[in-house]
């Protein structure tokens, strides 16, 4: 009796649980949809890249002689300060001085050597004059045979030797003059001067530091010639470089000024590509105006090369073009039409950034709420910037500014489900079990 009672209780509980699951657990919650509003705005199809803000012209000032930095130049803007980072300098402004003791001694030595060469030349010329007189007398006595032939030859040889000594003396003077110019030039090199008018971007030397100039001149100062004209050096992937051309408009931002957009244009496409981890990139130089001096050297720039600008067009989120409902979520009139259509027409993905006018001839479909269900609207798809896409209605009045289009399905609070056409349908046609 007790066993029969327990068995009946188990059957009763199982039946009750099955009934509850049938009426509650297996029932799908009513679908709700997340929507976005169609807007009218300007759309830019762009190629993204990153780059660095660079001064248009930078001069690296080095040292051509070896020595210890004795002093730095005086800042033209403040006589009480020395040349430092950010100093504005004019052409020939003294930037630094190297200890010139050795080079002054070399100048004195070269001057003394020149004086000696000049004195030697005077002696050689006096000797030549003496031998020339002897040679002239020998020439006048030879016809009368008043001089021996050997003495005649000796006078001739002495004169020619003295004349050659004068030529040697003149050559020595030229050599010593060149040595003196070299010594004076090296002495001048101990004073480091600015070759251009500009701003000190970097000072790489301190007082007391020894600079050594060998095959490469050591860099002491970096001067930006004109910070009102700046460039952006952007690295562009090889897949995109073919769509970039000279004078192409460019927009870019820097983290230093959030929300502010700077404008420029392509000035140069450099051909010396670089390869990093099998990725080939090209450097594209972008010129931009910096009259307000906001852009600082070496800021990181987020660059957008403007392929095409579409003003005053209808825009929908890309998710609206990708989303597809389940058949039971469609209005009855749309189910048969969607089922008979080719699989490529429904849920047309947004167009890639336009390469030509043909991109605007693609067809797509968006879905709008219709009571508790959704209905489709066919649209022509244009260019995309990666987040929104240009659309235009194929039927007058179907899609317009302010229309709500479905971008996702909300199954429960905090749970937004988007339908991926490439995933298999599981658990009741792809619906998420609650």
CATH of 58-99+191-224, one of 3.50.50.60, 1.20.950.20, 3.30.70.1140, 2.40.50.100: 2.40.50.100
Q: How confident is the model at residue 1 (pLDDT cuts 50, 70, 90)?
A: low
Alpha-carbon distance of 125 to 123, in angstroms, equals 5
Q: Is 137 strand, coil or helix? A: helix
Of 426 and 104, the structure prediction assigns the larger pLDDT to 104
Instruction: Give the dihedral sign, CA 331/337/340/342.
Output: negative
The DSSP code sequence of 334-375 is HHHHHHHS-TTTTTPPPPPSPSSGGGGGEEEEEEEEETTEEE
Say if residues 92 and 193 touch (Cβ distance below 8 Å): yes
- Note the pLDDT tens digit of each residue in 208-248: 999 887 666 678 999 999 899 999 999 999 999 999 999 99
- Out of 187-191, 320-324, 342-346, pick the least confident: 342-346
> Each residue of 119-158: pLDDT tens digit?
999 999 999 999 999 989 988 888 888 888 888 899 999 9
Give the separation between CA 95 and CA 83, rounded to whole angstroms: 6
Pick the CATH number of 29-42+311-417 from 3.40.50.720, 3.40.50.1860, 2.30.40.10, 2.40.420.20: 2.40.420.20
Domain boundaries of the chain, sorted by first residue: 29-42+311-417, 46-55+226-308, 58-99+191-224, 101-189
Q: What is the pLDDT of residues 362-419, one digit of tens each?
A: 888 899 998 889 989 889 998 888 889 999 888 766 788 888 999 998 865 555 555 5
Whether 21 shows a pLDDT value over 70: the answer reads no
- Mean pLDDT, residues 175-199: 95
Contact 348, 362 (CB under 8 A): yes
d(CA 385, CA 374): 27
More confident residue, 342 or 311: 311
Mean pLDDT of the 345-365 span: 55
Q: What is the pLDDT of residue 372?
A: 87
| CATH architecture of residue range(s) 46-55+226-308 | Beta Barrel (2.40)
Residue in the block written with tokens 């957009």:
261
**What are 225's two structure tokens?**
């010639």
Residues in the chain: 434
Q: Determine if the pTM surpasses 0.75.
A: no
**Predicted local distance difference test score (pLDDT) of residue 341:** 63
Q: Which of 72, 399, 36 is nearest to 209 (CA)?
A: 72
Residue 410: per-residue pLDDT: 83
């Amino acid at each position: 009796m007790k066993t029969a009672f327990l068995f009946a209780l188990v059957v009763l509980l199982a039946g009750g649980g099955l009934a509850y699951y049938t009426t509650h657990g297996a029932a799908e919650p009513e679908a709700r949809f997340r929507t976005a509003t169609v807007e009218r705005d300007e759309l830019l199809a762009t190629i993204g890249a990153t780059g660095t803000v660079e001064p248009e012209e930078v001069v690296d000032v080095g040292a051509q002689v070896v020595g210890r930095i004795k002093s730095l130049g005086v800042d033209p803007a403040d006589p009480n300060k020395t040349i430092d980072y950010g100093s504005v300098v004019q052409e020939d402004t003294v930037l630094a001085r190297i200890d010139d003791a050795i080079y002054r001694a070399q100048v004195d030595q070269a001057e003394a050597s020149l004086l000696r060469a000049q004195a030697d030349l005077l002696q050689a010329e006096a000797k030549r004059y003496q031998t020339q007189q002897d040679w002239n007398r020998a020439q006048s006595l030879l016809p009368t045979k008043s001089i021996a032939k050997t003495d005649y030859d000796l006078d001739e040889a002495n004169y020619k030797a003295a004349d050659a000594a004068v030529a040697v003396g003149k050559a020595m003077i030229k050599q010593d003059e060149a040595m003196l110019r070299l010594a004076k030039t090296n002495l001048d090199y101990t004073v480091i001067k600015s070759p251009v008018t500009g701003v000190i971007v970097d000072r790489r030397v301190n007082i007391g530091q020894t600079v050594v100039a060998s095959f490469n001149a050591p860099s002491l100062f970096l001067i930006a010639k004109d910070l009102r004209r700046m460039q952006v050096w952007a690295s562009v992937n090889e897949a995109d470089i073919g769509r970039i051309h000279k004078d192409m408009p460019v927009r870019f931002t820097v983290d230093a000024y959030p929300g502010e957009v700077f404008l420029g244009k392509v000035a140069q496409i450099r051909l010396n590509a670089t390869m990093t981890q099998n990725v080939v990139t090209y450097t594209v130089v972008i010129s931009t105006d910096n009259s307000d001096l906001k852009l600082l050297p070496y800021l990181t720039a987020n660059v957008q090369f403007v392929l095409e600008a579409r003003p005053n067009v209808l825009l929908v989120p890309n998710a609206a073009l990708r989303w597809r409902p389940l058949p039971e979520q469609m209005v009855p009139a749309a189910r048969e039409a969607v089922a008979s259509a080719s699989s490529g027409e429904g849920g047309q993905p947004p167009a890639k950034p336009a390469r030509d006018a043909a991109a605007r001839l693609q067809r797509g479909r968006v879905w709008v709420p219709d009571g508790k269900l959704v209905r489709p609207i066919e649209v022509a798809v244009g260019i995309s910037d990666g987040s929104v896409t240009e659309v235009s209605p194929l039927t007058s009045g179907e899609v317009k500014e302010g229309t709500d289009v479905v971008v996702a399905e909300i199954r429960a609070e905090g749970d937004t489900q988007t339908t991926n056409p490439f995933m298999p349908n599981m658990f009741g046609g792809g619906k998420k079990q609650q």
